[in-house]
């Protein structure tokens, strides 16, 4: 606060000079004007003069006002209250020069305050609605010419938030920290009241902050439950604007004189109100009489959003610096730049959301993409395309209940459907829905998931889709050696950072620990409980939360010091180890803007899942999609990811399976329990990834079950086993596809090497080793050449062990399905055959599948036969014990036979439905 009375006359006069000079042609004219007032005019009171001066001020350019604004800004809010008793005091009677200057300054303050309060952008915005129109530079130019508009919004935000912020700080800082209340009981006791204040505050602050409240309302694991419960009212109960205004928008946009020209009925009040627009229920005129949802945009909403985004960009540097200060971290320019990038990324999506034509297109595209991929259980409202306009969107009405409020038994399945739909968007169609709050996720009356509000979407480039797919696959098999390169591919690290530097930073240990915790489920609350339990095991069960935190910090600091010392850095010469590590981390890591939307989408879905099941694990819910995607995608990158997950080398030897020089690699058995404990800080991981040279039967079965789970869950409605039937048919189609598949390639390889090993084992037993063998019966010594050719190899042991493991895993499942304890009666067998024949006769899709599967089975048999012949030829080529002539014959004949029976090679890459990256 500036104390004006403490200023010298010269200081006040110099500051006011530019203002007075704008009002009069010359400074000397002021004296004459005063004399004229005194001689010819009755005493002029302050209120009248303030009004006249205010009119003059409103006409002055912002440049001329700038010096005065700098002086009076701190007192604008109190000027009118302070001067209220003086409104009848004569202005120019018996005043000194200092008195005149002070009264002029007061008049200017009152006038400027009034001008700020009346400032209005008049619905104008620095850019148009659209996906690519947001422009911070344009906003800078636009608002630099409207400083009073910006000042008004800043003062409004300050006025509205000051009381709430001060109250929370008082509860936390004064009643908590300063009063030594480590449990923060006062803060917790005030939560219900503060939560109601937060709801009111979000509504008062406008659309940008309503969106923020919506995003937080589902995260009871991140904010207190009292706040979340209150903020949920923002999801479909945002205060509406008058229906008369909405009707005018409809008339103007649709080119009609009366809404009854287009709608048979239209609700008098909105049935739902959101931050961008509100929805009315009606029926269309004409033969269709469709029940529709009519979405109307709030007038001037883009102007409000643009101003808030501009103010957020102004505030962000200060907020970033303050947050770092609280956390004891210095602020680098890169920190502010990243924060601004996040604001801009949010701004782009928010501005795009005001373009209803774009929303219509996104909705239509999503419907088509899900139908093309067989996700019948998920849908979007059908757009009435002829009524789509810039600020009006009409869709067919969807009867349903919010997913988080529905008590139907299939809601958990629909949560899985939602995960699969979002993963399909993120990793396949490349267009991600970015506003998945619970108000936008409905369970329809026919048991499907309907995703509403397609105004905000994110485009995911092809390269990024595959980078994410590889990252998920590497995490799933705990191949942490591949993670540093994944981070670079995903944009989490600058391109000039090497994987070696990332690995040295300790990222693999941190990710390994985090992934195991996420896999265990329960969200941040349960993770915090598990971490605290593990910390107590490490440091002592008697320690409190604060003491445990201190111990962990001390260990972390020692690990960082050891890391610096290992790099040859003089730790004693580093004044602040944490600051040095923070600096290095800024060089190694960055936050891509797209993460904001991906994190928000999956954070909301996890929140819904946790509201149904407190042990919900979103990582596990992602697994069925991953299995299906890797099974059907024939791109080289997807094939490499699948082979890595199954414990195989990244590339295959076509038709030959495993290399013949395998020395014996055992696929490690891992303890995947998340309770293995905290990572040893600063230690180097020694975990061996599942990327050996032998197929992991457990992983194959796990992924096959995931594939079936995905298909069953995404069937239209999984009644009477429809989903399970569809899953079985799709898996059979995949395994027997005439055009082949990556999974088919892998299984052919494994069958070939398995049959080769089993055949040689049987021949060895028949001819040499068994008591009843030819050698054993006649007491002959086996020929050295035969013994060498049939001798077991490390490869044989590996593949036969894999076959036994697969048999042990499949046996119980097969017996369970067939119920072998009871032999079916002939009548049951006849009924089953009759049902199967009836299905083939009546179901065209079933007949088509059966035809394709028979063709695929024939081709598959030929591929396996050709593979066996090629392996026999390769073994003959490598058999040095045989004469050269014999080797030539045993190589040439099987190769010729293989060439004659092997079907044409499948394309290296089979395209997924349109929209997927290749």
The residue that leads in pLDDT, 477 or 138, is 138
What is the average pLDDT across 754-783? 75
CA distances from 101 to 15, 17, 64, 75, 372 (A): 10, 10, 18, 16, 76
Give the contacts of 619 (CB within 8 A, at least 6 positions apart): 515, 518, 519, 521
75-79, 492-496, 746-750, 869-873: range with lowest mean pLDDT: 75-79
Q: Using a pLDDT cut of 90, give the percent of the chain over it.
A: 14
Do β-strands 449-451 and 378-379 pair in parallel, antiparallel, or remain unpaired?
A: parallel
- The CB density around residue 845, as the number of other CB atoms within 10 Å, is 10
Other beta carbons less than 10 A from residue 391's beta carbon: 23
The conformational region for residue 30 under phi > 0 = left, psi -120 to 50 = alpha, else beta, is alpha
**512 versus 378: which is more confidently predicted?**
378
**Cα separation of 277 and 662, whole Å?**
65
Distance CA 107, CA 88 (A): 14
Residue 135 has pLDDT above 60, yes or no: yes
State pLDDT tens for residues 669-709.
333 333 344 444 344 333 333 334 578 888 888 888 888 87
Q: HEC profile for 469-501?
A: HHHHHHHHCCCHHHHHHHHHHHCCCCCCCCHHH
Domain boundaries, the chain: 4-118, 356-460+594-616
Residue with tokens 């801009």, as numbered in its chain: 344
624-660: pLDDT as tens digits: 888 888 888 888 888 888 888 888 876 655 444 434 3
Question: For the chain, first and last CA: distance in Å?
Answer: 62
**The predicted structure's pLDDT at residue 72:** 44
- Band (pLDDT 50/70/90 cuts) for residue 24 is very low
Sign of CA dihedral 294, 298, 303, 308: negative
Count the alpha carbons within 13 Å of 687 in the hemisphere toward its beta carbon: 24
Split at pLDDT 50, 70, 90, the class of 40 is low
pLDDT at 45 over 60: no
What is the C-alpha separation between 707 and 800, in angstroms, rounded? 26
The answer to whether 787 touches 768, Cβ cutoff 8 Å, is yes
Residue 126: its pLDDT value, please? 92
Residues 333-382 have pLDDT tens digits of 877 887 888 788 878 888 988 999 999 999 999 999 998 888 888 999 99
Sign of CA dihedral 513, 517, 518, 523: negative
- Could you report the per-residue pLDDT of 307-341, keeping only the tens digit for each? 999 998 998 888 788 767 755 667 878 778 878 88
Given a cut of 60, is residue 563 above it in pLDDT? yes
Residue 293, classed as helix, strand or coil, is strand
Give, in degrees to the nearest 5, the angle at Cα 593 between 592 and 599: 95
Judged against a pLDDT cut of 50, whether residue 787 lies above it is answered with: yes
Please provide the average confidence, as pLDDT, over all residues in the chain.
Answer: 74
pLDDT of residue 104: 59
Q: Which residue stretches of 477-576 are H helix?
A: 483-490, 499-504, 507-520, 523-539, 545-566
Choose the weakest-confidence range: 149-153, 364-368, 466-470, 914-918.
914-918
β-bridge partners, 282:
266, 292
Cα–Cα distance for residue pair 205/209, rounded to 1 Å: 6
**pLDDT above 60 for 562:** yes
CATH (residue range 356-460+594-616): 1.10.510.10
Res 294 pLDDT > 90: yes
Helix (H, G, I), strand (E, B) or coil at 789: helix
d(CA 450, CA 406): 13
Least trusted range by pLDDT, from 60-64, 157-161, 202-206, 701-705: 60-64
The C-alpha R_g of the chain, in whole angstroms, comes to 37
**pLDDT recorded at residue 695:** 80
User: CA–CA distance from 535 to each of 181, 541, 551, 674, 804 (Å)?
Assistant: 23, 8, 9, 14, 41
Which residues are within 8 A (CB) of 119 and not within 5 positions of it... i.e. 6 or more apart? Answer: 146, 148, 149, 151, 152
Specify the pLDDT at position 162: 85
Predicted local distance difference test score (pLDDT) of residue 92: 46
Residue entry with tokens 């390889």? 749
Q: How many residues does the chain have?
A: 918
Residue 223, class by beta-carbon neighbours within 10 Å (0-12 exposed, 13-18 middle, 19+ buried)? middle
* Element housing 273 (H / E): strand 272-273
Per residue in 803-857, pLDDT tens?
888 777 776 766 665 554 445 555 554 554 455 455 545 566 666 777 878 888 8
pLDDT of residue 663: 31
What's the confidence (pLDDT) of residue 647?
81
Question: What is the reported pLDDT for 32?
Answer: 54
pLDDT band at 454 (very low <50, low <70, confident <90, very high): very high
Evaluate if residue 918 carries a pLDDT over 70.
Answer: no
């Amino acid at each position: 606060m500036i104390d004006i009375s403490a200023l010298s006359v010269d200081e006040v006069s110099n500051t006011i000079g530019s203002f007075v000079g704008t009002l009069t042609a010359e400074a000397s004219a002021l004296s004459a004007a005063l004399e004229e007032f005194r001689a010819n005019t009755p005493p002029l009171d302050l209120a009248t003069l303030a009004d006249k001066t205010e009119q003059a001020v409103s006409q002055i350019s912002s440049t001329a006002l700038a010096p005065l604004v700098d002086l009076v800004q701190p007192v604008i809010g109190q000027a009118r209250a302070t001067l209220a008793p003086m409104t009848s005091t004569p202005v120019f009677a018996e005043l000194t020069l200092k008195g005149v200057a002070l009264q002029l300054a007061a008049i200017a303050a009152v006038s400027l305050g009034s001008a700020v309060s009346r400032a209005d952008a008049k619905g104008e915005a620095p850019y148009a609605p659209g996906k690519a129109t947001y422009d911070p530079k344009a906003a800078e130019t636009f608002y630099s010419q409207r400083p009073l508009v910006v000042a008004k919004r800043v003062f409004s935000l300050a006025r509205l938030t000051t009381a709430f912020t001060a109250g929370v700080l008082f509860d936390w800082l004064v009643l908590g920290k300063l009063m030594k209340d480590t449990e923060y009981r006062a803060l917790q006791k005030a939560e219900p009241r503060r939560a109601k204040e937060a709801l009111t505050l979000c509504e008062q602050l406008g659309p940008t902050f309503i969106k923020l409240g919506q995003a937080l309302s589902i995260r009871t694991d991140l904010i207190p439950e009292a706040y979340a419960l209150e903020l949920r009212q923002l999801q479909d109960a945002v205060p509406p604007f008058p229906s008369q205004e909405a009707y005018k928008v409809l008339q103007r946009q649709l080119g009609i004189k009366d809404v009854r020209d287009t709608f048979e009925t239209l609700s008098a009040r909105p049935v739902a109100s959101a931050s961008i627009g509100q929805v009315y229920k009606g029926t269309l005129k004409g033969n269709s009489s469709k029940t529709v949802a009519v979405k109307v945009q709030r007038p001037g909403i883009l102007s409000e959003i643009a101003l808030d985004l501009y103010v957020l960009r102004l505030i962000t540097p200060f907020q970033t610096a303050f947050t770092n200060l609280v956390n004891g971290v210095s602020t680098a320019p890169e920190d502010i730049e990243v924060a601004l990038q996040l604001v801009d990324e949010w701004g782009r999506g928010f501005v795009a959301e005001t373009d209803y034509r774009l929303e219509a297109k996104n909705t239509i595209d999503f419907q088509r993409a899900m139908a093309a991929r067989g996700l019948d259980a998920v849908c979007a409202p059908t757009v009435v395309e002829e009524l789509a306009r810039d600020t009006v969107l009409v869709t067919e009405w969807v009867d349903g209940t919010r997913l988080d409020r529905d008590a139907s038994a299939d809601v958990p399945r629909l949560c899985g459907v939602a995960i699969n739909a979002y993963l399909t968007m993120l990793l396949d169609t490349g267009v991600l829905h970015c506003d998945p709050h619970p108000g936008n996720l409905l369970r329809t009356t026919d048991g499907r998931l309907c995703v509403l509000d397609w105004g905000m979407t994110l485009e995911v480039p092809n390269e990024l889709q595959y980078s994410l797919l590889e990252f998920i696959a590497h995490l799933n098999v705990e191949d942490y050696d591949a993670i540093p390169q994944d981070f670079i591919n995903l944009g989490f690290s600058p391109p000039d950072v090497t994987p070696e530097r990332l690995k040295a930073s300790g990222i693999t240990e941190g990710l390994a620990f985090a992934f195991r915790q996420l896999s265990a489920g329960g969200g941040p609350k349960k993770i915090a409980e598990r971490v605290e339990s593990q910390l107590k095991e490490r440091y002592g069960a008697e320690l409190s939360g604060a003491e445990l935190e201190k111990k962990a910090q001390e260990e972390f600091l020692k690990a960082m010091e050891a890391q610096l010392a290992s790099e040859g850095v003089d730790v004693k010469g580093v004044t602040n180890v944490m600051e040095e590590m923070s600096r290095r981390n800024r060089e190694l890591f960055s936050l891509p803007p797209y993460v904001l939307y991906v994190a928000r989408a999956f954070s909301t879905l996890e929140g819904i899942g946790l509201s149904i099941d407190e042990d919900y694990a979103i990582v596990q819910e992602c697994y069925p999609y991953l299995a299906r995607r890797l099974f059907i995608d024939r791109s080289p990158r997807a094939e490499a990811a699948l082979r890595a997950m199954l414990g195989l080398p990244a590339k295959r030897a076509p038709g030959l399976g495993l290399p013949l020089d395998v020395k014996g690699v055992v696929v490690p058995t891992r303890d995947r329990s998340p309770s293995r404990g905290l990572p040893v800080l600063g230690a180097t991981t020694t975990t061996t990834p599942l990327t050996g040279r032998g197929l992991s039967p457990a992983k194959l079965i796990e992924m096959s079950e995931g594939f079936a789970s995905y298909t069953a869950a995404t069937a239209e409605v999984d009644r009477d086993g429809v989903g399970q039937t569809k899953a079985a048919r799709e898996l059979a189609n995949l395994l027997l596809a005439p055009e082949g598949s990556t999974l088919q390639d892998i299984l052919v390889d494994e069958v070939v090497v398995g049959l080769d090993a089993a055949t040689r084992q049987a021949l060895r037993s028949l001819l040499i080793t068994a008591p009843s063998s030819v050698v054993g019966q006649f007491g002959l010594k086996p020929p050295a050449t035969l013994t060498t050719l049939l001798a077991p190899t490390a490869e044989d042991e590996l593949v036969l062990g894999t076959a036994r493991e697969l048999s042990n895993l499949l046996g119980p499942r097969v017996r369970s399905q067939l119920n072998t304890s009871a032999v079916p009666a002939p009548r049951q067998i006849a009924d089953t055959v009759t049902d199967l024949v009836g299905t083939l006769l009546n179901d065209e899709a079933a007949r088509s599948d059966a035809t394709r599967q028979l063709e695929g089975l024939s081709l598959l048999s030929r591929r396996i036969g050709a593979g066996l012949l090629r392996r026999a030829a390769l073994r003959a080529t490598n058999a040095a014990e045989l004469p050269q002539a014999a080797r030539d014959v045993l190589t040439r004949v099987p190769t010729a036979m293989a060439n004659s029976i092997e079907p044409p090679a499948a394309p290296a890459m089979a395209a997924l439905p349109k929209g997927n990256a290749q």
